[in-house]
Structure formats: C-alpha cells, structure tokens
C-alpha cells in the first residue's frame, strides 16, 4: 500500500505562520478566503459573495443590540456560510484520516500492532515519571497547606 499524497502533504512542515483571525486554527484571510474563492470559481461551492467579501460580522443580541463580551469588546463572528463550510471540511478531514488509519490497520495489521506496542512501550517511562511527579507535587502541596499542628512526618 502506498501512502496517499494528501496525507504526506499534511505531514510536511510549513514555515509560514499566519497571524490573522483563525477559523478552526487556520488563518481566515490567508487560507480560507482564497480556498473558498477557488472552490466557488471551480463550482465546487456556492458561498455567497457577501460572506467572502465581509467574512467577519458584528454579533447581535436577540433584541437587535450589539453583543459585547465580558471584557467590554464588541463580539465579532465569522459569517455563517464560511463557518459551515469550515465545519464540513473539518468533518470530512476527520473521516478521511480515520478511513486512512483503518485502511492501514486492515492492510498491514501486524505492522500496525507493532507500532502500537512500540508507542506504548516508549510512553511507559514518561507516564511513570509524570505519575511520580504528580504524587510528589500533591504530597508537597498538602503538606504546605496543612496547619502546623496537623503536620505529621511522612516516611519515604
């Protein structure tokens, strides 16, 4: 079995770090708008021009007044058509990733099980170290928070 190109492409590092508004952790202006403009151009989507032209919208309360956050800033949301399309892409991506994993596990069950065992074995020392560290931290915290009269020495 050969790994599909789109899976390999997802795993390659990308040096660009967009800093704009993000939708599903992906830059709206630098990624989603060009992609949806392209999909509209190809006839794959029919996202309204208004959504692509004004992707950020002021949020309103049910009574028609502008919605403000707890910090006092106006709430800005992404146009519903864009948010819905991103959600569809996310759901399809998850389905495709799971289908790929299932395909590999089905076609190479022994290799897949060997990977699972190697992952588990490599993770054990880390899990044990973290478990010991959290127990020590909880004990130290409990000792620090206990009143002086209640402090009892703990045998190691």
In a domain, 156, yes or no: no
Quote the pTM value. 0.70
CA dihedral sign of residues 123, 128, 134, 140: negative
Contact 137, 152 (CB under 8 A): no
In a domain, 87, yes or no: yes
Q: How many domains does the chain have?
A: 2
Distance CA 29, CA 18 (A): 9
Lowest mean pLDDT across 2-16, 55-69, 137-151? 2-16
Same domain, 71 and 114: no
pLDDT in tens, 82-109: 999 999 999 999 999 999 999 999 999 9
pLDDT of 6 above 80: no
pLDDT of 18 above 60: no
Say what the alpha-carbon torsion angle 115, 117, 120, 121 is, to the nearest 10 degrees: -110
The pLDDT value recorded for residue 7 is 75
Quote the domain boundaries for residue 139: 109-151
Question: What does the pLDDT average to over 56-77?
Answer: 96
pLDDT level of residue 148 (50, 70, 90 thresholds): low
């Amino acid at each position: 079995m050969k790994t599909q190109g789109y899976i390999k492409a997802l795993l390659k590092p990308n040096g660009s770090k967009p800093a704009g508004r993000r939708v599903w952790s992906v830059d709206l202006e630098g990624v989603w708008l060009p992609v949806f403009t392209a999909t509209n151009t190809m006839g794959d989507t029919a996202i309204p021009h208004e959504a692509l032209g004004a992707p950020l919208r002021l949020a309103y309360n049910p009574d028609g007044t502008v919605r403000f956050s707890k910090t006092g800033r106006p709430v800005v949301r992404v146009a519903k058509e864009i948010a819905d399309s991103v959600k569809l892409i996310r759901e399809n991506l998850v389905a495709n990733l799971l289908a790929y994993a299932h395909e590999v596990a089905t076609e190479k069950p022994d290799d897949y099980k060997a990977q699972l065992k190697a992952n588990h074995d490599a993770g054990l020392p880390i899990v044990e170290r973290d478990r010991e560290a959290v127990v020590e931290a909880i004990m130290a915290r409990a000792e620090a928070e206990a009143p002086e009269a209640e402090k009892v020495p703990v045998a190691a």
